Structure 1
Amino acid sequence: MRKRPDGAGALRRIALWLVVTAGMTLAGVSGSTAMAQDFTARATVLPGDSGIRDRRGRLELSLHLSQGVPYRIFTLEDPRRIVLDFREVDWRGVDPAVLLKSDLATAVRMGQFRPGWSRMVIDLAEPLALEEADLRLTEDSGRARLTARFGPVAAEEFTRLSGYPATPGWGREGLVALPMQVPPKAPDGPMRILLDPGHGGIDPGAERAGVVEADLMLTFARELQEALVRSGAEVYLTREDDSFVSLEGRVAMAHALEADLFLSLHADALASGRALGTTVHTLARSASDEASRLLAERHDRADLLAGIDLSDSDDQVAGVLMDLARTQTQPRSEQLADAIVLALRSEGMPLNTRPRRAAGYSVLKAPDVPSVLIETGFLSSPRDRENLVDPVFRARLANAIRDGIQAWKIADDTLAPLRLK
């Protein structure tokens, strides 16, 4: 049986390696149209009476609800989709495959969008515009029926009518709000870390054999939070429940928190091919490999699937000032990723054959916060899936990540005087 290395000694060795390799780098040596309606309260969808169907060349939506709720309907493009927001709907028992019977629509998703909000997104095969919508209440039972009809329009007309509506009281302010009250950061205070359990709400992430990525990563984020707090860190989560947080919102949280570190946690699944073991990803303009490029595209597509309008995001994220800030931050992110991989290897955790990867992940684009994305494993791998549902394995994984962060912190403090001011 292989003897496990001394914990403190392992941290020192990892930190020393980081300082040496970073020193080489510093010295120049190369290393590695909308409609809204108002009611109050929460409703349950009655799936047996609900459906999305084609009728005389139009798309018709019928949702039977236990009671009336406020709602709004609008469309977005790239890709073309219909978005319905509710305050608030319980989707339990609704099967998208049973609900959707249409050639004009290709897919439907629903779930909690954020606390107090629910959302349905319908992907379209061709441009359609809202023609009418109505919510009728049944006096004796209190139940409600929402009907909406969408008719074909030219592509140019769809573009003109689409966009995130400025409906009073329904604004986008919650997309980048902090989930909690955060005290000001003390200059000599503990390391402040933001953990990002990937996906959530309307975006469940990967699903295999009854295991849902969003739920699993929230559980693991809480466990990792406990391990980091015990080591003296101040730790926050981008979400505390099964709610959706936009990629833009996650990045904004890291900045608003003045976080020292940002870790996004995932457990992906491959549609084809085989992969297993943990991988640690950093931001790059071009992907290190094709698998990482496709992975970044899947992660970034979450906002589109959830009905977020990203039309203004690219200019904000790709600004010159942000690029300048990343000049200092990116090497620190890469050192953090290296430290975590070394700590995982020291603990004997299963690593992917290429554990260090990079791609253009939008969630890692906080310009002033060292950020990494950790794929804890692949739910498409039975071995990884078995490991990740095991609390004992997750505890070892959390402790190894904690050790990597501690080693990085030692090295980062050592290298701080050498950085450009």
Structure 2
Amino acid sequence: MKKLVPFILLFALCSLTFKPVMSATSSQTLAKKVVVLDPGHGGMDNGAHVGNVNEDELNLKISYAIKEELESRGATVYLTRSDDQDMTRRDYNYSKQDDMYLRALKIDEYKPDLFLSIHLNSASSSAWGSQVFYYKKSSDGERLAKCIHEKMKPVTGTRKNISSCGFYVLRATQSLGVLIECGFLSNANERGQLKNSRYHKKLAVAISDGIEEYEKSLSGPVDILL
């Protein structure tokens, strides 16, 4: 028993002084950052749709995947909508103008560091690829769009470039933001991916990586090739 005493004392001392090493995956790289996610459409406005696949439902699922990923990196994340309702929360007399007005107010209410408006595209069956839009008068928006676009390219395989625009949600808000078209519902192959929760996770990681890249760029010049 006496031989065990020094060992027990040594073990207790080591336990008091030992500090666990945080892994890279648990790093809170976006701590203290506030992000608003705006899942496009909702309620009576389904957005793009093919058969029984509706854009508004997938926008919300993708947004929740992004929320989970951003929170794992320390960010505080809010959503403009959390269910299948537009911002008016009416099931009659739908007004796109009212919805967009309330959406912009809701985003600014949280005073975020940035916001992302999440959408899906639709055109011909041959069109495909993600695209990131920024308000045409915002240099910070352009930088954010570039960072997110570059991180999404390996996932979506897009050949599109970022684009300036005058979309209301970017024009009417006081907050920095971009609008992300995650892909085309009208393309059968891409539609299959966009319905898949594992693909939502890939998009979430890429978009979050893009936000991290943007934050790094604020401390110095960033070289992003398009």
- Give the equivalent residue in structure 1 for 2:212: 406
Deviations 1:189-216 (A, max 9, x none): 7111000000000101111132110011
More helix by share: 2
Give CA deviations for 1:221-257 in whole Å, capped at 9, x if unaligned.
1111000000110000000111112111111122111
Deviations 1:59-94 (A, max 9, x none): xxxxxxxxxxxxxxxxxxxxxxxxxxxxxxxxxxxx
CA apart distance, 1:368: 3.2
* Match runs of 1:142-157 below 5 Å: none
Deviations 1:359-417 (A, max 9, x none): 210011245321100000000001110111111111111100000001101112447xx
Change (3 A) 1:211 1:387: same
**1:247-396 alignment to 2 at 5 Å?**
247-270=100-123, 272=124, 274-284=126-136, 330-345=138-153, 348-396=154-202
Q: 3-state SS of the aligned residue for 1:385?
A: helix
Give the letter for the 1:387 counterpart.
Q
Alignment gaps of 5+ in structure 2:
1-23, 25-30, 88-98, 222-226
CA contact (8 A) 2:129 2:160 kept: no
Using a 3 Å threshold, how does the CA distance of structure 1 residues 267 and 367 change in structure 2: closer, same or farther?
closer
SS of residue paired to 2:106:
helix
Task: Give secondary structure in 2 for the equivalent of 1:262.
Answer: strand
Q: Name the CA distance, whole Å, in 1 between partners of 2:38 and 2:173.
A: 16
Q: Counterpart amino acid of 2:78?
A: Y
**1:277, distance to aligned residue in structure 2 (A):** 0.9
Matches of 1:388 and 1:341, distance apart in 2:
17
Counterparts of 2:119 and 2:77, CA distance in 1: 18
SS in 2 for 1:354: coil
Q: Is the 8 A contact 1:364 1:373 kept in 2?
A: yes
Deviation at 1:268, TM superposition (A): 1.8
Indicate yes or no: 2:51 matched with 1:209.
yes
TM-score by length of 2: 0.75
Give the unaligned 5+ runs of structure 1.
1-7, 9-188, 285-325, 416-421
Cα offsets for 1:93-116 (capped at 9, x unmatched) = xxxxxxxxxxxxxxxxxxxxxxxx
Letter matched to residue 266 of structure 1: H
1:96-115 to 2 correspondences below 5 Å:
none
Q: Which has the higher strand share?
A: 1
Equivalent-residue separation in structure 2 for 1:279 and 1:215 (angstroms):
19
- Give the Å deviation of 1:274: 3.1
Kept in 1, the 8 Å contact 2:38–2:80? The answer is yes
With normalisation by structure 1, the TM-score equals 0.41
Q: Which moved more, 1:256-265 or 1:360-369?
A: 360-369
Q: Which amino acid aligns with 1:190?
A: K
Which residue type is aligned with residue 42 of structure 2? Answer: G
Question: What are the within-5 Å matches in structure 2 for residues 129-278 of structure 1?
Answer: 190-245=32-87, 246-270=99-123, 272=124, 274-278=126-130
Q: Distance in 2 between matches of 1:218 and 1:283?
A: 23
Greater Rg by CA: 1
Contact 1:254-1:366 within 8 A present in 2 as well: no
